[in-house]
Structure 1
Amino acid sequence: MALCRRLARLAAHLQDPRKVAAFQRLCGVEGPSGWADAEQRAGGRGPVVNGGPPAAERAGEQGHPAGNGTVPGGAGPPQRWRRRPRRNSLTEEDGSQEFSTRSRFLYYLFSLGTELGNELFYILFFPFCIWNLDAWLGRRLIIIWVWVMYLGQCTKDVIRWPRPASPPVVKLEVFYNSEYSMPSTHAMSGTAIPLALLLLSYGRWQYPLMFGLILAFCWCSLVCCSRIYMGMHSILDVIAGFLYAILILVVFHPVVDLIDNFNLTYKYAPLIIISLHLALGIFSFTLDTWSTSRGDTAQILGCGAGVACGSHVNYIMGLKLDPPPDTLPLSLSSLTVTVFGKAILRLLIGVVVLLLTKVAMKKATIPLACKIFRIPHDDVRKARQRMEVELPYRYITYGMVGFSLMFIVPCLFHFIGLS
């Protein structure tokens, strides 16, 4: 019982939003004018961190240069750089809270870490891996990514812990603010992808193990710290996401080969894949209020189903994307200007095709779903928040994107001589 009480106190300590605010101040982030007074009202007069000053004293510090690490009587603080957080067009949040930061380097560094868990990164990383490096590796990474993100999103909507309170936290991003917080799926993705990349590639590719470990550590640390810096997760959310991703990786890594072989070779694999992914999205969880979680989950499952079906069609038609067995282990030492140029050209052409597919399917599926379920589509934002529209739109659109990634674009490369 004593151990349980200590763990509960530790969890409450790590979940405290004032710890997030302290980390932000350490990195030079400040809220808008009057933020100190609002923080005092929200946080009370208790200590901030580790016996630090009360909120009333902290309010005085924030208006003084010495409160952010400068020496009293010195040359004064660096010039502030004001920004507005990125918002989600589907939510009611206007993102009008202005913040300032004293370090552009840290802002861009942690913004990069955040993007490592966003759609822009996925639509560049997975295609580059499949088209230019190793399709065998890319398929398995996507399988692990789908399960990690799906379980993470579902767990959020079961636990239903809110985001860190603001104030005292300064929201540098509000794109996913409508979702619950625990665990951090950014932290889960930022842990699972580099570790899975290391586990699956080592021995298949020739590179020093220490290089892979350092890359995985830096990748994971950057993504996890970025979520605290952005004010979107507590320290406990990030740690839980990190540990949860490792647990899922340990469980699913041994069966990834079986899943991939099933997707490729089993006769009725496409029917089972589509049915399973659809059922997981419909029956896995329900939302008490709308958030981006349901659409993101459907998007992930649709993409995974499309990639799996595309892999099956490749196998049936004899389109081999995997490197020949006699070329293993693979090496980057053969990189030339020609090879690099073709890789970039494949990425540019392929991503354009994927984006065109996404736009075309979005334009077709949203009005069609509205018409079938008799939902007014004069306000597209509200229509997309309805489950009858959101799920078909996300599944079909991103299912076609995944299918194009795995089958249509490689066929195009073969036709134009870029394979």
Structure 2
Amino acid sequence: MEAVAVAAGGAGLTKWQAAALSAVAGWVWAASFFDLTRRSRALVQPWVTRRVLAETPSIVRFQKVHHKLLDNFFSVLSCVVSVPFYTGFLPLLFWSGHSKLARQMTLLMAFCDYLGNSVKDAVSAPRPSSPPVRRVTATEDEKENAMEYGLPSSHALNTVCLMGYLLHYVLTYGPHDNVMVATGLSIAFLLVMSVGVGRIYLGMHSLIDVIAGICFGVIILEFWLAVHNHVDAFVVSGQNVTTFWASLSLLLCFAYPKPEFPTPSFEYHTAFNGVAFGIVYGIQQTYFHFHNPDVPLIFSPQLPLIAFVGRVLIGIPTILVVKFCSKALSKWLLPVMCNTLGIPIVSTCYVPALKASEKSKDKSDAKQGGYLQKVFSLFPQKAYDVDTGIRQRPPRTLKLHCKEMPFLFLHCIDAGSLYPFHFHAHVIICQTKSLRSTPYEETD
């Protein structure tokens, strides 16, 4: 089968790809049939909850040593692994010529985000109660983070993987000595510990959450260091990469565990899932032109600092423009498409034109007919809320993010200045946030 797939020019999946997708699909079926999420939650959640409650008095005592400067310091430090940080940091890696580091960092962070948030929602363990704990949420991102479950700490997990892989890359591809190794390890250790202490100081996590995040981070980092070269070789020169990754992205949405109560965690996974697909598709299309090992690095004669600054000055505003325009476009286009095709979809808050009312429901019922309506009549007759429920149907917005949007933005820019991925990634992020396609509630 593999030889046939190769001979067909990537027309079909290879044996290992089919086996991998079948394994994920089998896990989805088994988890649903045996109710594995609730069973595992019943075993783990009570113990974690008791630990969080037992640690609450210690957190309150620890927070007595507080100061405005410490509030600001730890709040800024928390941004190291936040969405705004990735928005600026990952494009800089591409524009500086470090394409391998950039794509590996993005895929690793997507992997961390998925596994960390899956554990969060599977366990559904609470954060320290506020009050009595003083919770500091200086940014909108922190306020959204506070709506998630506690264990493990995503900030601790992501910081371990981010600093660990950066250190590995520098020591592997650059000159180093014992002093440099010791300095790098010290900086990484200090940053991880500072982020962990900061999460407790800000009232966002208990000690058990931070320890779990660090442990998960070390395990994921060790695994990634063992497979990252194979992953990179597959992304750069593998067979059926786009087809396989699109299928995997879709299956991972269904494999995500349903939380006990609604949280934004699935939204973050969906965004990074789309970002990872944008990376893979963009690299596949432009590797030999802009992402191969011969691409000039920053500070080289071919890429002086002034050229890099020019890329940043052009790239960041372009990313922001595309982000806001695509958000407005998606909010306008989705109601038009749904109303035109007669698809029973509503939005409770993020897409005002899709808000349901009694009159609109009556009109919608009166307009029954047509092929699509007959198709949808096979399913329960209710309007599906794009803000809450996609677990029972393939996520249409994810399909838009993963397939149509890369084609739309692939040739929109001069690749000598900007790389196509950055548009894929940020369009995906902003559209996902605007539509809030989260699995909080399952449809009947």
1:387 maps to amino acid: G
Q: How do 1:13-412 residues align onto structure 2 when only pairs under 5 Å count? A: 16-26=55-65, 28=66, 102-104=67-69, 106-173=70-137, 174-207=143-176, 208-315=180-287, 318-324=288-294, 334=299, 339-370=304-335, 371-372=337-338, 373-377=343-347, 379-380=349-350, 385-388=387-390, 392-393=396-397, 396-397=400-401, 411=415
Deviation at 1:133, TM superposition (A): 4.5
How many Å separate the matches in 2 of 1:294 and 1:411?
A: 32
- Alpha carbons of 1:396 and 1:107: their partners in 2 closer, same or farther (altered >3 Å)? farther
Deviation at 1:263, TM superposition (A): 1.2
Deviation at 1:200, TM superposition (A): 2.2
- Alpha carbons of 1:377 and 1:189: their partners in 2 closer, same or farther (altered >3 Å)? same
Q: What is aligned with 2:417? A: 413
- Alpha carbons of 1:280 and 1:267: their partners in 2 closer, same or farther (altered >3 Å)? same
**1:278–1:301 CA contact under 8 A, matched in 2:** no
- Alpha carbons of 1:335 and 1:239: their partners in 2 closer, same or farther (altered >3 Å)? farther
- Alpha carbons of 1:204 and 1:116: their partners in 2 closer, same or farther (altered >3 Å)? same
More divergent stretch after superposition (288-297 vs 190-199): 288-297
**2:124–2:260 CA contact under 8 A, matched in 1:** no
Q: What is aligned with 2:140? A: none
Deviation at 1:155, TM superposition (A): 0.4
Deviation at 1:213, TM superposition (A): 1.6
Q: What is aligned with 2:30? A: none
Deviation at 1:407, TM superposition (A): 8.0
- Alpha carbons of 1:177 and 1:284: their partners in 2 closer, same or farther (altered >3 Å)? same
Q: What is aligned with 2:18? A: none
Q: What is aligned with 1:60? A: none
* CA deviation profile, 1:247-279 (whole Å, cap 9, x unmatched): 011112111111111112124111111110121
How many Å separate the matches in 2 of 1:151 and 1:269?
A: 22
Q: Secondary structure at the match of 2:145?
A: coil
Instruction: Give percent identity, aligned residues only.
Output: 24
How many Å separate the matches in 2 of 1:239 and 1:409?
A: 44
**1:145–1:193 CA contact under 8 A, matched in 2:** yes
- Alpha carbons of 1:282 and 1:403: their partners in 2 closer, same or farther (altered >3 Å)? farther
How many Å separate the matches in 2 of 1:396 and 1:195?
A: 34
How many Å separate the matches in 2 of 1:407 and 1:14?
A: 54
How many Å separate the matches in 2 of 1:231 and 1:196?
A: 28
How many Å separate the matches in 1 of 2:418 and 2:125?
A: 49
How many Å separate the matches in 1 of 2:115 and 2:414?
A: 30
How many Å separate the matches in 1 of 2:406 and 2:56?
A: 38
> Tell me, which stretches of 5 or more residues in structure 1 are unaligned?
1-7, 29-101
> Tell me, which stretches of 5 or more residues in structure 2 are unaligned?
1-46, 138-142, 356-384, 420-444
How many Å separate the matches in 2 of 1:143 and 1:297?
A: 12
**1:298–1:395 CA contact under 8 A, matched in 2:** no
How many Å separate the matches in 2 of 1:261 and 1:158?
A: 32
TM-score by length of 2: 0.65
How many Å separate the matches in 2 of 1:385 and 1:414?
A: 33
Matched residues, number: 325
- Alpha carbons of 1:135 and 1:368: their partners in 2 closer, same or farther (altered >3 Å)? same
Task: Provide the alpha-carbon RMSD of the alignment.
Answer: 3.4
TM-score by length of 1: 0.68
